[in-house]
Amino acid sequence: MNIALLSHEWLVLLLGLGLLLADLWLPPAARRKLGYVAALGVAAILLYSILFVRLPAGGVEYAFGRMYILDSLALFFKRFFLLAALAVLLMSVEFAAEIQSGLTEYYALTLFALAGMLFACSANDFTLLFVSLELITISFYILTSFQRARTLSLEAGVKYLIIGALSTSFTVFGIALVYGTSGKLNFQDLAAVAPQLIGNKLFLFGLLWVMVGLGFKIAAFPFQIWAPDVYQGAPSPTTAFLAIGSKAAGFALVLRVLFTAVPAITAQWSHLLIVISAVTILYGNLCALPQRNVKRLLGYSSIAHAGYMLLGVAALSAAGQSAILYYLSGYLFTVLAAFTVICLVMRHAEGEDISRLAGLNQRSPLLAAAMALAMVSLAGVPPMAGFFGKFLLFKAALAQGATQHGYYWLVGIAILGVVISLYYYFGVIRAIYWPGNAPDPSPIPVSRPILLSIYACVAGMFFLGLYPNPVVTLTSKAASALQAETAAIHATATLPKAPRAAWTRSLLGPASAAPSRP
């Protein structure tokens, strides 16, 4: 057993606990600096991860009875989360004045949520999946309602708590059904027995409920109901972390469960995934149209983006999975840039109405440019990251179109979604550059770390849009880890041929139409 395998997680946890202890002993004036300490710590861990963490020759390592897995996918996500947390922590320091009490706890809880994400992307067992998901969610319940003086923040916290608790109960019930029918919790063990359980409706129902719980995390239709309210009410740094970290953790787990644990069953769920993806895209984009609150708008847009990424899941191919990872990378820089700007411009304002962006170009040309570029990237206009990500996703889906025509429809709907989204994203850009009367024409001071963070985000957006090759190599390698593990399982277990989407029919149709159980 190699304790160094879990080094990311331990280091982040130690950093979080260290911050809490430091808060106890430091004088109040020094505590203000703890946010920078946290950010520096995360940066150091990221650096350590890139410089020193190497995968062994086989590309995969397990720990604790295959409970924990470290492969290129896990490593990709770990660095992804560390990067996201770094920007979020810098943002939090700017936001500190808005948090009345418990500032250090805010940083510590952000780190705990980060630790949860790090564990989640290495989960190779339903037990670890559940507890790490819960760690993320519980931390976010608190982070969301951190501004107790704001009713909106409290409302967001309560809504997230109630809906999150509901989704948790779905997950845990689903896991119980999966375990009850298969007797396995480990993903590889499950993959070995899953082909025999294709006809077991209880097993399928359990899996479906696990997916419901994960659907809440990524805000896919019909489990998206919480997103706009929570995005709007939560403190801006938390919203950013929720938008990027929580969603990416959800996708990491979706990929693991669907393609490592039950690939045999996922292969039959393409209809379901196509429908969910299409509806999510349409819902997110259509609902975003009338929004005037920027954070709420981004909440709906995040639903739409979950839909685009589900398109990569529905494609059921390595190219699709790699495209999801690429899309997430682009989304990371884009969303962080957008929320950093929102955080700086609107931190003192009670409402985040789009009109508050008016005259931003005069107040701070840099922030205006960053926000505009982020919107362009979210809309998927070349040459930004968002464009190339969507391109890869659509390509992966079209490649599967030969097997099933649904994919053509799905890509059509997705393109329609992109066209709709142009309207509201450009509404934001218009507000920035339209020579309106700015509510507060004073220039916005930008601190040096934030400047750095914004430059990095903009650079990332351009880099991923213009020069995709290095990251494509990285993501396809990460996705291939998933494929390699799947292939290893396919080699050991022979798949019985079952009709496509047999399970939906058997659930809806009369009992006699059900396929015979093996």
Site of interaction with another protein (CB under 8 A): 6, 13, 20, 63-65, 67-68, 100-102, 105, 108-109, 112, 115-116, 119, 125, 127-128, 130-132, 134-135, 138-139, 141-142, 145-146, 148-149, 180-181, 200-202, 205, 507, 511, 514, 517
- Of the two residues 29 and 511, which places its CB atom closer to another protein in the complex? 511
- Supply φ then ψ for residue 62, to 5 degrees: -115, 160
The least CB distance from residue 36 to another protein, in Å, is 21
The least CB distance from residue 186 to another protein, in Å, is 10
Q: Which of 20, 78, 87 is nearest to 52 (CA)?
A: 78
- Of the two residues 147 and 361, which places its CB atom closer to another protein in the complex? 147
DSSP secondary structure letter of residue 186? B
Q: At what angle do helices 151-182 and 126-144 cross, to 10 degrees?
A: 170
Structure tokens at 266: 């996922």
- Of the two residues 119 and 269, which places its CB atom closer to another protein in the complex? 119
Helix (H), strand (E) counts: the chain: 23, 2
- Of the two residues 446 and 502, which places its CB atom closer to another protein in the complex? 502
The least CB distance from residue 328 to another protein, in Å, is 23
CB atoms closer than 10 angstroms to residue 281: 28
The least CB distance from residue 238 to another protein, in Å, is 13
User: What sign has the CA pseudo-torsion 441, 446, 452, 456?
Assistant: negative
The least CB distance from residue 141 to another protein, in Å, is 7
How far apart, in whole angstroms, are the C-alpha atoms of residue 172 and residue 163? 14
The least CB distance from residue 48 to another protein, in Å, is 20
How far apart, in whole angstroms, are the C-alpha atoms of residue 309 and residue 326? 10
- Of the two residues 114 and 429, which places its CB atom closer to another protein in the complex? 114
The least CB distance from residue 99 to another protein, in Å, is 10
Residue 440: which H helix or E strand, with range?
none
The least CB distance from residue 268 to another protein, in Å, is 17
- Of the two residues 21 and 452, which places its CB atom closer to another protein in the complex? 21
- Of the two residues 117 and 456, which places its CB atom closer to another protein in the complex? 117
How far apart, in whole angstroms, are the C-alpha atoms of residue 156 and residue 315? 34
DSSP labels, 103-166: HHHHHHHHHHHHHHHHHHTTB-BHHHHHHHHHHHHHHHHHHHT--TT-HHHHHHHHHHHHHHHH
- Of the two residues 292 and 517, which places its CB atom closer to another protein in the complex? 517
User: What sign has the CA pseudo-torsion 376, 381, 384, 390?
Assistant: positive
